[in-house]
Each structure stands twice: as C-alpha cells, then as structure tokens.
Amino acid sequence: MDDVSLKSDCAACSALCCVALAFDKSKLFAIDKAAGVACAHLGSGHGCTIHARLQSAGFQGCINYDCNGAGQRVTQVLFQGQSWQQNPALLAPMLAAFAGMRQVHERLLLLATAQNLPLSEAQKRRVYDLQAAMAAPEDWSAKDLAGFGQSETARAVQAFLKSLAPLLNRS
Ligand code: SF4
C-alpha cells in the first residue's frame, strides 16, 4: 500500500475530475456541467483558470471534492503521464479508467479508515490482503477497471466492511 496515495495530487493529474464529473448549478457550483465535458474554466495544461478564486466564484464543490488519489494514479501509472489535451483520443479511455479507479480508491480509503477500529489480528490481515488486491498498479487493465464494481474483490471488500459493523456499534 505504500506506493498508492489516497490523497489527490492535482499537479500529477490531468484534471480528470474537471471533465468526468457532472454538476448542477447550485450553492456548490455556479454553472451546470454535463459528465464527460470539460469545464468551461479548465485551461490548457490541465489547470483551473479560476483556482485562486474558486470559492468566491461559486465553486465550493470543487474545493470539497477529492478523488482520493484516483486521478493521478490513472494519469501517471496507467497512462504514463500522457495528456488527453495533447492527444484527444486518450480522453475516453482515461475517463473510463478514472470511473473505475475512483471506485477502487473509495474502497482503499474505507479500508484505511477501518484500520482505526480495534481489529483482531485476523481482521488486520484481511485488510492487508484486500488492500494488496487493489494496490498493485500493474494489475489494472481497462477491462478490470470497467468491471471492478461487480468484481469478487469489490464484493469481498463490501462483505468485510459490513462484518465490522459490531465494532462501530461498540465505539
Ligand atoms: S471550476 Fe476549475 S476546479 Fe472546478 S471543475 Fe472547473 S476547471 Fe475544474
């Protein structure tokens, strides 16, 4: 798990969240944006042109969002730092990979959080095994990521987290 960060690093990403995610005009977002369409405020080089004034411009939702490290993992590990802005053909596969990797990193974060519970030795080992199943970068193909939500690993993580409910009720 040491080589997988669960904290977003926008400088190492290609602004995948600024394209992939949809948002509705609301208190959190000043405009509507459809999923898969680059935000009107996204500049070249994957930078947000209003980054310094996101809050005053009505984009608190962007400040709140964290991909849990999925974006930079897709950009740097799966696509070797390539840019969809320079090669638009990469956009669709990068967005598809990001959708799957977000699910992976959400589960990794839940497992990391679970480590704060008073786990038994067997439960600690299970956390380690499940993290390992999702940590190795070379294990992820586009097909694996697309099917991750229905995978045995995803089901195993869900079942394990559910099994920890008694610990939550105790605390
Ligand atoms: S406002 Fe900036 S941070 Fe928010 S989605 Fe648009 S480009 Fe990205």
Is residue 2 within 8 A of residue 53, CB to CB? The reply is no
42 close to ligand 1 (CB < 6 Angstrom): yes
Nearest CA to ligand 1 atom 1: 41
CB 16 near ligand 1, within 6 Å: no
pLDDT (0 to 100) of residue 156: 97
**pTM of this structure:** 0.92
Q: How far apart are CA 112 and CA 6, in angstroms?
A: 9
Distance 150 CA to ligand 1 centre (A): 30
Using the mean position of ligand 1's atoms as its centre, give its distance from the Cα of residue 41 in Å. 6
Going residue by residue through the chain, which has 171 residues, state the pLDDT in tens, using 9 for 90 and above. 556 889 999 999 999 999 999 999 999 999 999 999 999 999 999 999 999 999 999 999 999 999 999 999 999 999 999 999 999 999 999 999 999 999 999 999 999 999 999 999 999 999 999 999 888 766 688 888 999 999 999 999 999 999 999 998 765
CB 36 within 8 A of CB 20: yes
46: Cβ below 6 Å to ligand 1?
no
Ligand 1 pocket member 39 (CB < 6 A): yes
- pLDDT in the model for residue 155: 96
Cβ–ligand 1 contact at 101 (below 6 Å) = no
Question: Does the C-beta of 48 come closer than 6 Å to ligand 1?
Answer: yes
Reduce the DSSP state of residue 48 to 3 states and report it: strand
DSSP string across 20-34: H--B-SSSS-SS-B-
